[in-house]
Structure 1
């Protein structure tokens, strides 16, 4: 029969296999039900044909014997092959018994023929037939009824009524089966498509994991070649501008390495390939070392960092490197979100067979509706272009996943304006937990990529350098009272305003642009607007993603002021793509430069906009 179901590879085979399975399952239920009900209808015999009740009981027992044979068949190892013939045999035996009882009660004038209508509807509703097979079975049931009654009572006009109702029942049952068949085929097609889509997603996920494993190697190798020579140069460099540039390069290289590590660890966790290397150690001692490493960073940010009861923790079993990542992520998070003058407390303790530590801060706190979402990958409470702190949104998600890999957990309690407390609980002996969660790479390529990446990681850095990397995203260059002397531009040089929240980049660009222009700087949009109103620059270069007032808002406010409507504004941003460019141009920007950029490109664009502004000024003067 023609079908509108879209053809999928293996669809017909899957449909037939599912039909056989459903037939067996439902045949078991139907045969048990028929065995009970067919005998129970003996009560009807007692009510309407008491004289024939004994004979009818023997007929019912004979039919019940067929049901028993059918049950034995559908519970056997050959159930899928035997279910159809035994169900058909049971249906015909039922019809024969009912027809025989009807013939004994008067033939076509007896209402017992209604039993065969029940048989037709029951087998049609309960079982997943092919329409042609069901039509044949219905025909055999009707022929059995008519044949027995004709043989025992002879032909009469009374046969028309029962025949009409039996034929009608057969037709409607076959139509219902056709509709049910179409529905089952459509549902199976949808399920197969969903299964196929899930398999494709799994393949894409594995491809993504392989990509992360391979690209991490390609990124880590050049980063290693950057950090190694930089450390060598720093060791021999005295104080001065050159050392400042080298420190900035080393700091930002470690920040980049930390993000690469976080992305790779997240990908390995997602694929189930991140394995623990358990060893016995003291969590309190590890906490103390990392807190000590973070104290200078806290001091540079004007934050007090202290520890409590770390020496009270007993020895336990954990993966030292993974636990370092958990601690560093929570310390980094607290340092970033605790304001100047605030305090961070790291405390630890033990409960039965669990060791725990807490990182508490008195920062801004977390909204109640975000307390669980902050552990989602890539989620950030403030995801706008004006958010105050950077990051990928992986730190807290990675910390919780690593804790759960140990058999523990990371939780948080927080109130807006009162700070947050992150609590990490780890079992003292997680050996029985991580083995069950460990999974090996499925493909040979994955195994090779993993081995190559793990080998690269193992020989990257010593413990000191590794911890510098773990806390790199909160590390700032040492405070300086001045940015150092700049080259003196010509006396009549155009005046530029540079607005950039990254101190390293702001200092570097200002020093290079000062050779040709008079440069004023600001660290955020609000400060940039104040400076612009004070010095009236000829051109503004501003970053986009800044705390408070972002670059888009700064641009809109400048362009809304008649005094700056003709002042060119160039946006600097790491947000590539046509949507980001369109948003900048909608804000009124005159140009858009995507990071990373060549300094010569920025200088050329500045010069071009200043020339255009000068030409426009001269034209206005002539008019």
Structure 2
């Protein structure tokens, strides 16, 4: 019996030792796991700190790059080819700036230093305008892109700038991974205590093993794009959680992926210092009182402006569905310009065709036809493609600096806007177009270069056709404006408006200028006298050529020929 007890005791001792070893191993495993987790966390913090520090260093030279590039793009210099290359540079520089800002935002959110500015607003309307900015990308890729909501008025307390980044990142991610002719859908559902946003795409999907990792910082995954940074979704998660919401993902490879964001309703979960109590949205005209400007100088100049012949004033078309905002914009410009009005994009397009304004200011969010669609229609129509357009948007420029979203707008301005800034943008655009017209009439070159005086490809094609038609008929003194218009496919009035807008000349003046410049080219060659040149360029009377030549060059054809010979 004693031996049996000894054996049992020995077994218990062995078992006890084994249990101790197992516990020690377990504790070591936990410790190692903790150390591994801490090391990973430390590595991630080190990465973030490194990228944050270097991002701050990048911002100054990047700003110095973007400034001159923006000026070159806005100037329109260099023609379409150069402008396209400049836009590529600008788009990529802007993308780099977005990545830097994402890192800095993520760092602030991670450290709890990102302050929210919360105000109540219609979340459906907020989403609708962001969707509009992606419509062009969807059309380019032939992707079905829809927005469905349980109501067109869904009130929610949220920070517009930060939530814009969430939606932007989710949509960019969806478009990045969906195939051409695929589908991206946005769903907005209002529940009793929360609002749910769903972004769905039927793209490549996410492997099951990666589902739990997609919101980890710097994680890019198996189906990563060359442009993935691993920050976007992590930033989304941080910003959603700052709104006391949740974000999750459901995915089946090669079938569909759904990102689901739930944001609680009400404002009790936010701190008082995060709430903007007196918030007014961009459609509330009283918001613009904050940007009121001194009108004393304007009033003093009123009589001087109205003494001008009204035909000398530039014409601005304001397309805005909000009557009060439209009246406010009109009040800004009515002393310096002829102001035309339209309530929506469809009416705006009709007014633009009929009145041929010098510049168009258009809201983005409008019923019937939105501002983006209006902009596309205007730039694609030969009758209106030359008209500069400024789009007014309630969203920040963040969502418009994505390659592929360019709709042809010459500039964007965020509502509510400063009247002085808007006036300067309008003035600069009109001056830029006037400089292009002067360049077309300049004697610095005896040939007209369409790429230097046009902004859109449609206008460049038009000018090339116009120049070719006149050159082909340069010696035909009976070539009329009616025939000119018929050959180019425009009525006499359409041709007049188009040439006047681009070159600052009527069709008759344009043909005459080209004949005179060709006569100067022939005189420079020295092979023909003035009488011979007269008939070669389509003039029937040397005296009339002499008159036109002196108006263009400030000297007679004979004097021009002599001065050229002396300089050889």
Larger-Rg structure:
1
Normalising to structure 2: TM-score of the pair? 0.41
Higher helix proportion: 1
Greater RCO, 1 or 2 (C-alpha within 8 Å, sep 6+): 2
